[in-house]
């Protein structure tokens, strides 16, 4: 089973919208895995991931700040799913995420759920593990 440490969100608190946040955690795939799938899920109806248009769903500012550079396989307003096929042992994952306000109400607190799965050689995901982190807003 893949393992995951509690993600840390920076900056916290957020003082402007839209903004780019950096989420950092450590993830470890099981020894037979060919990589990791990582899902980032926003729980606030007052926030959304910034839209980027068409595939590969990874704007340059997110690619430049993320390590290792992910291969996004899904992106919508509240969910981003990345594949990291270069990860074979415990690795620090740094993911830059563009976030904007959804609607007219200002957010107060939001939760980000990060879930990691092992990827097998066919690209199928198995053995999930999730952790959550909260962030506050002073906008």
Beta strands (DSSP E) in 43-108 are 47-49, 71-75, 79-84, 91-101
Q: In 10 A of CB 5, how many CB atoms? A: 16
Cα separation, 89 vs 134, in Å, equals 27
Residue 105 has φ and ψ, to the nearest 5°, of -80, 135
Q: pLDDT per residue over 68-100, tens digit each?
A: 999 999 999 999 999 998 888 899 999 999 999
Query: Max alpha carbon distance in the chain (Å)?
Result: 47
* pLDDT single digits (tens) 2-58: 899 999 999 989 999 999 999 999 999 988 898 999 999 999 999 999 988 666 688
DSSP 8-state code for residue 28: E
Residue for token pair 């248009």: 53
Indicate the pTM of the whole model: 0.93
Domains of the chain plus CATH, in order, are 3-136 (2.60.40.10)
């Amino acid at each position: 089973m893949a393992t995951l440490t509690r993600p840390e969100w920076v900056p916290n608190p957020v003082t402007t919208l839209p903004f780019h946040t950096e989420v950092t955690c450590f993830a470890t795939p099981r020894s037979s895995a060919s990589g990791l799938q990582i899902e980032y899920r926003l729980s606030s109806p007052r926030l959304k991931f910034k839209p980027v248009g068409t595939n590969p769903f990874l704007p340059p500012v997110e690619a430049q700040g993320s390590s290792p550079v992910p291969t996004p396989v899904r992106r919508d307003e509240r969910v981003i799913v990345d594949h990291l096929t270069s990860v074979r042992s415990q690795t620090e994952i740094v993911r830059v995420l563009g976030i904007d306000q959804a609607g007219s109400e200002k957010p107060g607190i939001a939760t980000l759920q990060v879930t990691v799965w092992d990827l097998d050689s066919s690209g199928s995901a198995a053995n999930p593990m999730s952790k959550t982190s909260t962030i506050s807003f002073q906008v």
